[in-house]
Amino acid sequence: MEELEKIRKEIDLIDEKLIELLNARAELVKKIFEIKSKKNKPLFDPSREKKILERLTKKSKGILKPEDIKVIMETVFKIYRGMFKEIVVAYLGPEGTFTHQAALIKFGEKARYVPAKTIDEVFKEVEKKRADYGVVPIENSIEGVVTHTLDVFIESDLKITSEIILEIHHFLLSREKTIRDIKKLYSHPQAIAQCRNWISQNLPDVEIYETESTTSAVKKILNEKKSAAIASEVAASMYNLNIIAERIEDFRENITRFLVIGNNFSEKTGNDKTSILFSIKDKVGALHDILVPFKKEKINLTRIESRPSKKKAWEYVFFVDFTGHKDEPNVKKALDKIKNSTIFLKILGSYPKEGG
């Protein structure tokens, strides 16, 4: 017991030192906040946070794993970020949706969250300065791209400042206690599609009703017997519902990517992604001519999507994601080369790449 008490006293001293150092860090963060406020610079700096994480992970020689350092430091970032000014974040709501969950992961409990009914409204909240940032879904590994988000970018001048990668797990929630009691099922069409096989095997005779969001589904069943909703684990605790089946999605690799939109570009970190959109001239080989400079500069394209321009019949706008930052020499060369082959070219953002 004497040895145990001795170790505990050592831990107490380290904890006290930690608090002392965290307070010292807070004083420095305050000074940065004051400088940024005077120069009207954004408080959220994803590139700086990414660099800190990478540097600390390389420097660490102890028991802590890289993922442990990531959890600790991201918590620190979220606390300090909202310490001297409340950050307002608009998101595709309502409260309890996966977009809300993604926003919480990125900005933490100190931010103020504003739910919006549509993706257009999220953009408008940021454009009109009622929110500092917005969070919108862009693609799901199973269901594909969220086309409406792409469409809004055509007219908007907002920038992608960061991305969030969220593993999606669906839960069957109800006031009932067993799956045998369920006669009606509510959820968003995408959630239903992602659980289609599970539903047919476990609830073959259930009546299925589509809702505008998973949270809307949860609200539907609050006063309705023998009904259930497919929603998140967070929604279960928020609305005090029973989880009667866990992780009912058909595919384990069910990942949704979200974008953080704001008014500024992020600085380069060395591990970035860039998103652009462009429209091309109507001629043979036009798209090929656009893609060749990327190959010559050894830039890896990670996604390409086309959408109708909605301005002229059969005219399309292309959305492309690729590795690299707009300020890197090879990316600059590629973008300069494709300008002459496009009707217009817009850089949506260069931002730290999630997941390494």
Locate 313 and state its tokens: 């019949």
Q: Which residues pair with 165 in a beta bridge?
A: 257
201 burial (CB, 10 Å; 0-12 / 13-18 / 19+) is exposed
Q: Which of the residues 258, 278, 319, 322 is marked catalytic?
A: 258
Tokens of 165: 């990668």
Q: What share of the chain is helix, strand, coil (3-state, %, to 5)?
A: 40, 25, 30
* Contacting residues for 197 by C-beta, under 8 A, at least 6 apart: 250
Give yes or no for a contact between 355 and 292, defined as CB atoms under 8 angstroms apart: no
Q: Write the burial class of residue 64 (CB in 10 Å: 0-12 exposed, 13-18 middle, 19+ buried).
A: middle
Place of tokens 């977009």: 99
Which of 161, 256, 269, 274 is flagged as catalytic?
A: 256
CA distance 218 to 188: 10
Find the helix or strand (DSSP H, E) in which 196 lies.
helix 196-202
Residue 20 main-chain phi, psi, to 5 deg: -60, -45
Residue with structure tokens 């420097």? 59
Q: Is 77 a catalytic residue?
A: no
Query: Catalytic annotation on 258?
Result: yes
Known catalytic residues are: 256, 258
